[in-house]
Amino acid sequence: MHTINLRDLLHLHRTKVVIGILFLFVALQEVKAQGQGYVRRHLEYYDDKPIHYGILFAVPFTRYNFRHSEPSGSPTAGDSAYLIQSPMKGAFRMGFTINAYLNERFDIRTTPSVSLYERELKYSYPNSPDKTNKRESTWLEIPLLVKYKSKRRVNTRMYMIAGVTMGIETNVKRSRGGGTSNGRLDTQTSDFTLDYGVGYERFFEFFKFAPELRFSHGLKNVFQGSANTGINRLTTHTVTLYLNFE
C-alpha cells in the first residue's frame, strides 16, 4: 500500500512557509521601527511579576500518522485497499495561559485548552467506491512546557518552547465492531504528545501579544480497531498557529 499524499505534504509545507514569512515580516518591521529613533518601552516591569495569565486562540492543522498491519491469510476489504490517506484537516482551539517566571531566560508554562478536531482515514479500492472513516471529537489538552526566552529588545523578543501534553477526549461515543461504526473511527480517548515550537513576543501598552508556531507528535498508539482495516498503529500529528494574549 502507498501512504504518501503529495498534495497534503505540499499543503503542510506551504503553511509552514507562509507562517515563517509572517514571523520574519513582523520582526523586520520592529527592527525598522527601532532604527527610526526613540521607541517607548511598554510594560517595562513585566518580568518582575512571578506569574502571568492570559488567553489564547489557535488554529491547529492535524492528521494521523499510521503504520500498516501485516497482511492476513485471506483478503478482506481493508487488505484490498491500494491507498490509505490521512489528509491534513483544520481545527479550532481556545484556552488560557499560566506562565511562571523562573529566571531571565527560562519560564514554566501551561496552556490548558479545548480543541475541536476532525481527523479521518480515506481508503481507496481498485473496484469499489472510496471509504472515509472520521473521528470528530472535542479534546481537553493540558501541556507542561519549558520556555526559553531571548534578551528583550525594547518591545520584542523571541522564544522557543518544548514539553509534553496530555489530552483527554470529552465527548466519548462508544463504538466497537472492527474499528468503525457508521464510518466512525474507533480510537482511544486519551493521547500523549511531544511538543516544541517557536514564538515572537510583542509588548504593547496594556498587554503582550505573542504569535507562536508549535508542532505536536503523538507518542501513543490511539488505534483500537481490527487489523483487517489494514492499520495497526495510529498516532496524531498537529501543527498549530497560536495567538497568545497576556
Q: Quick: pLDDT tens for 8-56.
A: 444 555 666 656 666 666 656 555 555 556 678 898 889 899 999 999 9
Tell whether 45 is covered by a domain: yes
19 belongs to a structural domain: yes
Residue with cell string 481490527:
226
> The CATH number of the domain where 74 resides is what?
2.40.160.20
The model's confidence at residue 201, banded by pLDDT at 50, 70 and 90, is: very high
Pairwise CA distance, residues 112 & 228, whole Å: 37
- Within-domain flag for 192: yes
- In this prediction, what percent of the chain has a pLDDT beyond 90? 51
**Contacts for 148 with CB less than 8 Å, ≥ 6 apart:** 105, 106, 159, 160, 161
Q: Of 61-65, 143-147, 227-231, 238-242, which range is least confident?
A: 227-231
| Residue 214 domain flag | yes
- Is 60 exceeded by the pLDDT of residue 95? yes
Q: In which band, very low, low, confident or very high, does the pLDDT at 176 lie, cut at 50, 70 and 90?
A: very low
Q: What is the pTM of this model?
A: 0.78
User: Does the CA dihedral 93-97-142-20 come out positive or negative?
Assistant: positive
Residue 1 placed within a domain = no
Please answer whether residues 109 and 100 qualify as being in contact, where contact means their C-beta atoms are separated by less than 8 angstroms: yes
Q: How far apart are CA 159 and CA 109, in angstroms?
A: 12
User: What is the domain range of residue 113?
Assistant: 6-245
Q: Is 116 part of any domain?
A: yes
Domain assignment present for residue 123? The answer is yes
Whether 217 is covered by a domain: the verdict is yes
Please give the backbone phi and psi of residue 12, each rounded to the nearest 5 degrees, phi first. -65, -40
CA distances from 237 to 56, 148, 164, 207, 218 (A): 20, 23, 13, 32, 6
How many domains does the chain divide into? 1
Of residues 111, 60, 101, the one with CA closest to residue 214: 60
Contact 119, 63 (CB under 8 A): yes
